[in-house]
A and B are shown apart, each in its own frame.
Chain A
Amino acid sequence: GEDVEQSLFLSVREGDSSVINCTYTDSSSTYLYWYKQEPGAGLQLLTYIFSNMDMKQDQRLTVLLNKKDKHLSLRIADTQTGDSAIYFCAEEGNNNDMRFGAGTRLTVKP
């Protein structure tokens, strides 16, 4: 099973904020990542955060990192229907291997 844990589903209304949560295991990970996957496509790197940061903001995306609790979250402001996708949290291991959570399926309702 995955060492990185995420809730599987999230449904929001268009214009609301979405918050996707993740718990990771490897406290030595230097970077933590969020990827987006739309149906039938590969994974798109959305954003990442350096492990000595608490927060990173990039336009509508805000990443929060609680290193003590090994908790990572992704907030999407003003969620749009085009944001509907699967969002994967990931941590990078020592051997360049990226470990993914199970993915959270975000559904945005009009």
Chain B
Amino acid sequence: DTEVTQTPKHLVMGMTNKKSLKCEQHMGHRAMYWYKQKAKKPPELMFVYSYEKLSINESVPSRFSPECPNSSLLNLHLHALQPEDSALYLCASSQVKGVGGYTFGSGTRLTVV
């Protein structure tokens, strides 16, 4: 298995809703990432998990809450989002060190109404 699987592919939520994005990989990668990508922009790093521990939080608002329950799963819990949070949310995984780059999922397209 050489893929990163993200669910759901599309999500529409209201500003008072609570929802979660899910990411799964079975490549034995011990680093996992959440990126946010707005239209026509490069991905922006949100969070990095290394060995299931949060190692980087790029000053992301607390309405985004990451969770890494085990080495294969990464969640992003969403609560009280704003319309400007609408974007493509990409999950990626990699080896902690060394060659290989990231393997990205196909993303969750989130629309906040």
Contacts and interface: CB of A to CB of B under 8 A. Distances in A.
Interface string B82-113: 00000000101010110101111111010000
A45 B43 CA distance: 14
A43 B33 CA distance: 13
Interface residues of B, number: 26
Contact of B42 (A33, A40, A103): A103
B31 interface: yes
Q: Looking at chain B's contact residues, is the secondary structure mostly helix, strand, loop, or mixed?
A: strand
Contacts of A33: 101
Contacts of B92: 42-43, 98
A99 B58 CA distance: 13
A78 to B, nearest CB: 24
Given A41-B106, A42-B106, A103-B42, A97 B101 contact: no
A103 B56 CA distance: 24
A92 B33 CA distance: 13
A83 B31 CA distance: 29
Contacts of B6: 42
B102 A102 contact: no
Interface in A81-103: 88, 90, 92, 95-103
B101 A48 contact: yes
Given A42-B104, A42-B107, A100-B43, A95 B48 contact: yes
A92 B102 CA distance: 10
B55 A95 contact: yes
Interface string B26-57: 00000101000000011101001010000110
A95 B43 CA distance: 17
A50 B56 contact: no
Contacts of B97: 96
Nearest to A89: B42
Give the residue among A42, A95, A102 with the most B Cβ atoms within 10 A: A42
B35 to A, nearest CB: 9
A43 B56 CA distance: 21
A18 to B, nearest CB: 19
B48 A97 contact: yes
